[in-house]
Chains A and B, each alone.
Chain A
Amino acid sequence: MNATSSPELKEIEPEVRKGIDECVDRWKDKEGNLIMILHEIQNQHGYVPREASLLLAEKTGVPMARIYEVITFYHYFRLVPQGKHNVTVCNGTACYLKGAGRLLNAFERKLKIKDGETSNDRLFHLETVRCIGCCGMSPALVIDKNTLGKMVPENIEKIVDDILKTEQTNEN
């Protein structure tokens, strides 16, 4: 199909364009290339920017509609940038039974964002996943690659405050 024309509404930054150009050229003639290209874009930016998708549609001839079907089908791909600190609350069966919901609520209250959202200052991103494989220490969560187990809602306040404190120290 014919490529959808990319609108001039948002200027695509030259290095983004260059990155995508190279990536598309590398994968151009290979089957199943869309997912591989999306992987590379996400590795580069931490998410798949809309402008990147528009450019990708133009260059590969894959309609935007199809690109977004793929992005939204796989939990792995993101459409919004993550935060500097990423909170993943496990909501697998064991954690769910042991009160993952209460942990999530505590984060939502403290950070004033909902599951799947990023705070306005991009400092925190909050999400839930099905299982992180640490059922023995449920309910569990992961913050910035550190897994914390046997959590109770009362822990959350301090966890967030500690991060904020570190951020402030760094700033000063």
Chain B
Amino acid sequence: MSAMIAVRNLERTYVTGEFEVHALRGVSFDIQRGEFVAIMGPSGSGKSTLMNLIGCLDTPTAGSYHLDGLPVELLDPMLLAAVRNRKIGFVFQQFHLLARNTALENVALPLAYRGGIPAAERLERAAAALERVGLADRMEHRPHELSGGQQQRVAIARALVNNPALLLADEPTGALDTHTSAEIMALFNALNRDGVTVVLITHEPDVARHARRLLEIRDGLLVRDLPVERWDSSPRGPTRPRSRRLPVRSQWRSAL
């Protein structure tokens, strides 16, 4: 079985006015089915760019990205939307739930865009997903009636409802307190044990520690790729880039 995610020499260059910003400068790695990977890096390191590419929200300038065997860099926007719908479950820092809809309706939303599933079955599958994240008793609640942790659970259920190849979480605990964060991370762990492939993007070492493998990005390059248990013993990598800092970086930052 080939890798769930196969990234080769991935580059992404933004053109902002007269500057070319090299956000990703050639990154390669594989992620196997069932892994739990944290992608770490400080802000401006290119990890958000990498997340957008892995999430099929963006297409690379150069290099290749295969998700579950699909050559993503070759797909047109319509197919990318279908790939996002069926292969990827997004979890965002800001939850991004529709305020007017109940938890159940929010979770069922991706199934509507998939098409061909009767409404009753959509709600049934949404209810099953909510049970999986421990919210069986909150299905008819609207987001404002739920705590932050519960809202994020609803978002995770929404990400799971299409049985995606990949659960892609972007700072999922960024808006939560420490205790709730631990609960959410425990949930990710439990889902991963059940076989869900999880990719977590974060800048917090405490959060990244819950993963089993760590990818560290700096200045658009992969600087470390190691199991989490070897993280503390390994040389801590440059806290300040030694030679990689490019003049363009300050321009990019000011452009942002």
> Is the pairing of A and B real?
no
- Which residues of B are at the interface with A, using a C-beta cutoff of 8 A? none
